[in-house]
Amino acid sequence: MKLIGFKVQMYKCILDSGKVEVTPLTVLVGKNESGKTALLKALHKFNPFEPEPYNIEREWPRAHRKDRTDDQVVCIAEFFLEEDEIQRLRDITQQDITFERLEITRDYGGRFEVLFPRDIAPDKLHPNDIDRILETLPKLSQPVATQFQDAAEACVEDAKRLAREGRFSELEKLPQESSERMKAARSPENEDPQYNNEQNFTSQFTGKLQSAINTLKQEERIQKKAHDFVVQRIPTFVYMDEYRAFQGMAMLDQLLQRKNRKAQTPEDETILTILSLAGLDLEELVHQGGQADREERQYDLDDGAATLTRQIEDNWGQLKYEVRFNADGPQFFTFVKDAKDRALIRLEERSRGFQWFFSFDLLLMHETKGSLKGCVILLDEPGLHLHPEGQRDSLKRLEAYAEGNTLIYSSHLPFMIDLQAPERIHILTETNKGTVVTEDLSTPQPEGKLTLQAALGISGQTSFLLSERNLVVEGVDDYWLITALSNLLKRSREDGLPDDLMVTAAGGASEVTYIATLITGQELTVVALYDSDQAGNAAKDKLVKRWLTKYKHHKAAALSLGPSIGLPESSECSIEDLFEESFYLDYVRDFYKQSLAAANIEKIELPEGGQLCKRVEAFFENHGMRFNKGSIAKRIRSRLSEMNSIKDLPEYTQERVRKLIKTVRDAIDSCIPGQTT
């Protein structure tokens, strides 16, 4: 199972985080004290490697004491099921499983609940289990009278039918009813061996049937079997914060005493982890430390260090660590070197950044039992103590960690954000209803917005984040869809956006103008693409009149979306208007199917005229619901990434996409001072 979304409720500063959709690598952006750590810890406790239950006394939100209950769900996690897991559920439930997503909750009491769709995993026994248990019923020995054989076979069939239908109250009456039924059908002449066979079968059948009924009562129902199977498949959640750097030095005799008393400290746990991964036994090392001959212990330490070094090389081929252990009496030391610095240095004397990543490598190896796959990795402020260049390098390591895993990390550092993957970004915002998480990059409160702007590089001091040639669009939705469509054209062996073109998502039409002016001020080429609406037209006019026309030396162009896709100048449109109404509404209905069903809405009927997304938004507002176009854009973008050819789209969209990409390419290639389109 793979984590694809989660929501946290009633945990510390979070009353309801809202749904957080997860990509293989997801970043939570927010200022200090905005709730990033609380969100990650609530998620970590969903299924940690070592038991770490929710603590209602310390973690329940303040000022809500009257509502406190162990039944409160803390985390709702949504998972994508692999094909083998779906097939196993089919086998367990004997039903056609068509869903691929499944939500699981965990409450303050530590209870898991798998939210199966209605009518899936019924509260009855599996037919195979029923057959296995009823196989204990005796076989009829011949000869018997024909009428007795008919009665006996009917009693057996009744037992199987009632058990399979889950009608246990009727099944419990069957031994007595069967006995009376078979006695009435015995051979009238009391002939042997018929009479004796019939008498023995009647007695054996009623006794065995009663025993089978008792066994059936204790047998797990389909629902519990399906529930237990899913819970066993939940991935391990691994958490690491900025403070957990492994200790490499310890007094082994004191460590053993604390371990035997079960009073080990977090620092002790790190040493025990290192020894475990190295295949070293703590008691043996302590014993060897008291011997006069230290040669055997040093041999074991060298062999353990070589074992750990080999494991790291096997798992992280790009990380050339070398580990060495040494001991002086009860005192134990860990030395580490890497490809960049070949000197052997004690772990505690390495930089904090080195200690952090080395510690996390070992933690991940330990908590995944060496597999390094199929877990959920939660990192709180990784790279906090690295310089900017080191922070950028650390992003590559996060990509490696995310291969085969799901990785979520928090940050407020601009260098820890990949501007070319804004779909990864979620913003934490403090409200009067607690911390909430949003993927809408234009909605955070002022403090959160400043953090976002810094993280996205919207600053005059971040020219290194730009390219010689740039395209600025109004929002992340535009970025997602334009880049996905460009890539689809390239897969179709058609012209997409130039490879050296940097696409930047702004926070609205006015910020397109702001960012474009920053870029032109650094003598770089830029095309600004605006929606064809009142805000877009006003912002475009401002860029043209105040900058492009006034300062003739700028290598810039301003485009309106409508004319760029072949619509009249007066038409209103946004990026969603690349798609036909029916195509777009399919994704809306799928994403909001539960909300629409709850509101008894069977059909979406949009008002006429205007931008498609605004018409959908108006429909939702009329029904007291909120529409998030970003969620739909993300779904469409995901689907586009799965397509092999632009021809997989309707011709209507193909034509508009080709026109848009060509218009942008032409504007970039022929950009001259003061140009507008």
pLDDT given at position 481: 93
Say whether 13 sits in a helix, a strand or coil. coil
pLDDT (average), residues 643-668: 94
Decide: 38 and 13 in contact? Cβ < 8 Å. yes
Residue 238 reports pLDDT greater than 70: yes
**For residue 363, what pLDDT band results from cuts at 50, 70 and 90?**
confident
Q: List the chain domain ranges.
A: 1-41+55-119+374-454, 127-220, 245-350, 457-677
Which of the residue ranges 224-233, 245-254, 461-470 has the most confident prediction, judged by mean pLDDT? 224-233
Identify the three-state secondary structure at position 124: coil
Task: Please give, one letter per residue, the 3-state secondary structure of 277-310.
Answer: HHCCCHHHHHHHHCCCCCHHHHHHHHHHHHHHHH
* Distance spanning both ends of the chain, measured CA to CA: 49
- Alpha-carbon torsion 497, 498, 500, 501, what sign? negative
Query: What are the tokens at 594?
Result: 């539960």
Q: What CATH class is the domain 1-41+55-119+374-454?
A: alpha beta
How far apart CA 390 and CA 501 sit, in angstroms, is 25
143 exposure class (CB count in 10 Å sphere: 0-12, 13-18, 19+)? middle
Give the pLDDT score at 413: 77
pLDDT tens digits along 300-346: 999 998 888 887 766 554 456 788 899 888 899 988 877 666 677 88
Is residue 525 pLDDT above 60, yes or no?
Answer: yes
432-441 pLDDT, tens digit per residue, is 888 888 775 5
Which of helix, strand or coil describes residue 240? strand
* Model pLDDT, residue 587: 93
320 phi and psi, to 5 degrees? -95, 60
581 three-class SS: helix
Percent of the chain with pLDDT over 90: 36
pLDDT at 462: 40
pLDDT at residue 122 above 70?
no
The model's pLDDT over 453-509, given as tens digits with 9 standing for 90+, comes to 555 444 433 433 457 889 999 988 899 899 999 999 999 999 999 988 888 888 788
Is pLDDT above 50 for 676?
no
- Whether 93 has a pLDDT exceeding 50, the answer reads yes
pLDDT-derived band at 246 (thresholds 50, 70, 90) equals: confident
Model-wide pTM > 0.75? no
Least confident of 15-29, 119-133, 185-199: 119-133
Torsion (CA) 587, 588, 591, 592 in degrees, nearest 10: -160
Percent of the chain with pLDDT over 70: 87
Q: Give dist(CA 97, CA 469) in Å, integer.
A: 49
Neighbouring residues of 291: CB distance < 8 A, sequence distance ≥ 6? 297
For all residues of the chain together, what is the average pLDDT?
84
- The type of residue at 623 is H
pLDDT at residue 463 in the model: 37
Provide the 8-state DSSP code for 339: S
* 116 has pLDDT over 50: yes
The total number of residues written for the chain in this structure: 677
| CA nearest to 316, candidates 396, 376, 199, 203 | 396
Taking the CA atoms of the chain, what radius of gyration do you get in angstroms? Answer: 33
Mean pLDDT of 82-96: 90
CB 508 within 8 A of CB 474: yes
pLDDT digits (tens, 9 = 90+) for 526-582: 899 999 999 999 989 888 876 676 555 568 889 999 999 999 988 899 999 999 999
Cβ atoms of 518 and 433 closer than 8 Å: no
* Residue 354, pLDDT above cutoff 80: no
Q: How confident is the model at residue 677 (pLDDT cuts 50, 70, 90)?
A: very low
When pLDDT is averaged across residues 649-668 and rounded to a whole number, the result is: 94
Q: Which of 564, 568, 557 is nearest to 660 (CA)?
A: 564
Helical H runs in 402-475? 446-455
What's the pLDDT band for 85 if we cut at 50, 70, 90? very high
Task: Give the least confident one: 123-137, 415-429, 609-623.
Answer: 415-429
In this structure, what token pair is assigned to residue 671? Answer: 């950009």
Q: Which residues of 179-259 form beta strands (DSSP E)? A: 237-240, 250-251
Could you tell me which residue, 616 or 393, shows the higher pLDDT? 616
Overall average pLDDT of the 644-662 stretch: 94
DSSP code of residue 54: -
Mean pLDDT, residues 503-518 taken together: 81
Rounded Cα distance, 275 and 236, in Å: 22
- Given a contact cutoff of 8 angstroms between Cβ atoms, the answer to whether 671 and 664 are in contact is no
d(CA 334, CA 271): 9
Q: Which two tokens stand for residue 457?
A: 């590089």
Question: Which tops the pLDDT comparison, 8 or 460?
Answer: 8
Partners of 240 in the beta sheet? 379
CA distance 219 to 207: 19
Q: How far apart are CA 576 and CA 427, in angstroms?
A: 23
Instruction: Label residue 422 by pLDDT band (50, 70, 90).
Output: low
Tell me how far apart the alpha carbons of residues 654 and 334 are, in angstroms, rounded to a whole number. 61
| pLDDT category of residue 617 using cuts at 50, 70 and 90 | very high
Q: Which residue has the tokens 């299924």?
A: 47
How sure is the predictor about 123, in pLDDT bands with cuts at 50, 70 and 90? low
Q: What is the DSSP letter of 243?
A: T
d(C-alpha 376, C-alpha 388), whole Å: 26
pLDDT category of residue 612 using cuts at 50, 70 and 90: very high
pLDDT given at position 167? 74
At residue 457, φ and ψ (nearest 5 deg) are: 80, 20
The SS3 assignment for 412 reads coil
